[in-house]
Amino acid sequence: MSVLVGKPAPSFTAQAVVDGQIVEQFSLDQYRGSKYVIFFFYPKDFTFVCPTELHAFQDHLAEFEKRDVAIVGCSTDTEMSHWGWLQVPRSKGGIEGVTYPLVADTNKTISAAYDVLVGDYDLDEFGELVVDGELIAYRGLFLIDKEGIVQHQLVNNLPLGRSIKEAIRMVDALQHFEENGEVCPMDWELGSEAMQANHESTAAYLAKGS
């Protein structure tokens, strides 16, 4: 598993569904310089754990937006699959009402770039494509700062849902450090006491884009 923390988030352009509309050319680059991004992967449309996460991000969207955070989801399903799932009511297992972008990683290259792809593919001795695994995405989550640098990543196995509270906590911790130069100890929460950073760690962070 690659560690992307401290590195530029892999760039891509792909189809997506945004507030119920299909967008042909979607990229995280649009947020560079203006917003933080939580970019999360989920395994499949029309499943069980996934809608609980997608709805949780939607339910807390205002909390992220007031922190200048854009929420973007992604799976290896097609944009039409995303759109179809959005037509299904929440009470019937659908994700109707989700407005943030859902990226279609149909050719699996985005999941591969973020190293969250379950399985692998190769050519055998006869030049035929051989696939090992489902080629879907683990539950990866990446917090990307306004300069496009990954500051936090979390990757869960398929059965294990994530925590919205922890995602918000990490945003708060990053922004507290940026604004105050203080580092955040274990279980730090907004309003709690932080700590003075040493000069080396601060300098390393400030030099991340150079």
Q: Indicate the pTM of the whole model.
A: 0.89
In tens, the pLDDT along 56-89 reads: 999 999 999 999 999 999 999 999 999 999 999 9
Residue in the block written with tokens 């792909």: 14
pLDDT at 25 over 70: yes
Q: CA 101, 39, 108: angle at the middle one, nearest 5?
A: 85
Domain ranges of the chain: 14-161
What is the mean pLDDT of the segment spanning 14-36?
A: 97
Which residue among the candidates 9, 16, 37, 50 is catalytic per the annotation?
Answer: 50
pLDDT at 199 over 70: no
Residue 60 or 126, more confident: 60
CATH code for 14-161?
A: 3.40.30.10
Largest CA distance in the chain: 62
CA distance 163 to 58: 13
Residue 77 CB-half CA count within 13 A? 21
CA distance 97 to 92: 13
Active-site residue, 50 included:
yes
